[in-house]
Chains A and B, each alone.
Chain A
Amino acid sequence: MAKKELKTSSEVAPNLIPMVDIMFLLLLFFMLGADMGHRELEKVSLPLAKSIKEDKEVPGQRIDRLTINIYHRYESEIHCEAFSKLEVCRNDAHWRIGVKGHDYNQQEKLIKVLEEDSADYRDPSMGTLSKRKVMVRADASSPYGYVEDVMHACAAVGIYMIECGAARPVEG
């Protein structure tokens, strides 16, 4: 009678294919969700408001407006005690007015860039007024003075349609 030979060891090879599938799905999710193309928007903590109108983008149509950011210098550049405590920072050197990735803290430069931007939106029937819309995205901790500067610059070039950026508070 032949003796049965017992196997003492066996190779365990995990099937990697389902894992690779899941990894690909995860990768796709994070890649599509990554927000990399928003150079126009600086990192700001918007003030909260319940009555905001949601920005509904029409598919295939860009929201036609200029965004002006009023943002605090980043923590990596400067440490601000008040700002880190989410209090109002009233230090003029800490704030920037940014348009499309460039800073325009000087009023004349801001007026110049707004003038160039709003030139195509002028309606002769409205005199010096421009139909250009401007969104002011100011940090909740910023003093109103910066928003006022932006509004003065807008008024100087005839822009009167101003939208103020705000975020909806989380309920509960």
Chain B
Amino acid sequence: MAGSQNIGEESDNPVGINVTAMVDVIFCLCLFFMCSFQFKQLEGKIESWLPKGAAAAAASADQNVLEEIRIVMSYDGKSGATVRRVGNTAPAGSDGELMKRVLSLSADYEKLGKKDFPVLLEAARDVAWKDVVHVMDLLKQAKLERIEFAGGAKPAPKSS
């Protein structure tokens, strides 16, 4: 009796398809995509503009003027650490100390009613990029949005 048959029984589907080969292929494909799968890291950006004029780039830390907020970063080969100072001051020992100096200078700007002032970053070539980004991150967290890079002389062309 047809009514007593279950759904999916053999009599419903007289032509049998061998799915084994298909399962094999799907397994292989699945394995390939599983092995090549990479979870994407959440990427973002930190905006920073290059100085439009030549003045900011040409000035060095020695010619620093009081109003200018310039963070100078250099690499100390002996200790293997990055040395950070604000203008011509002594090296800052910690993030807190660095930001304290930066914020005291930025407070002077704010007292004068200036809100759109740049913070110049001047880093030596051998300073780790992650250290530069860390300083940029600290500045952004302190709501100092206008970060500009000040470079020294143009690098010599590379042969390779």
Contacts and interface: CB of A to CB of B under 8 A. Distances in A.
Interface of A: 15-17, 19-20, 23-24, 26-27, 30-31, 33-35, 46-55, 70, 88, 90, 92-93, 105-108, 129, 135, 138-149, 151-152, 154-155, 159-168
A142 B132 CA distance: 11
Interface stretch (B58-66, B111-119, B122-130): B122-130
B50 A160 contact: yes
Contact of B157 (A27, A88, A108): A108
Contacts, number: 170
B127 A152 contact: no
Interface in B119-148: 123-134, 136-137, 140-141
Given A30-B30, A148-B155, A167-B42, A155 B50 contact: yes
15 contacts: A15-B8, A17-B8, A23-B26, A30-B34, A46-B41, A46-B43, A90-B126, A135-B45, A138-B129, A140-B133, A144-B125, A144-B126, A144-B128, A144-B132, A151-B50
B45 A143 contact: no
Interface residues of B, number: 53
Interface string B45-80: 111111110000100000000000000010000000
Interface of B: 8, 19-20, 22-23, 26-27, 29-30, 33-34, 36-38, 40-52, 57, 73, 123-134, 136-137, 140-141, 149, 151, 154-155, 157-160
A27 B33 CA distance: 7
A145 B155 contact: yes
A20 to B, nearest CB: 6
Contact of B129 (A54, A55, A147): A147
Contact of A47 (B134, B155, B159): B134
Name the residue in B8, B22, B52, B137 with the highest tally of chain A Cβ atoms < 10 Å from its Cβ: B137
Contacts of B133: 47-49, 140, 164, 166
A166 B46 contact: yes
Given A52-B43, A53-B45, 11 more contacts: A23-B23, A47-B130, A52-B44, A70-B129, A106-B158, A140-B130, A141-B129, A143-B128, A152-B154, A166-B46, A168-B44
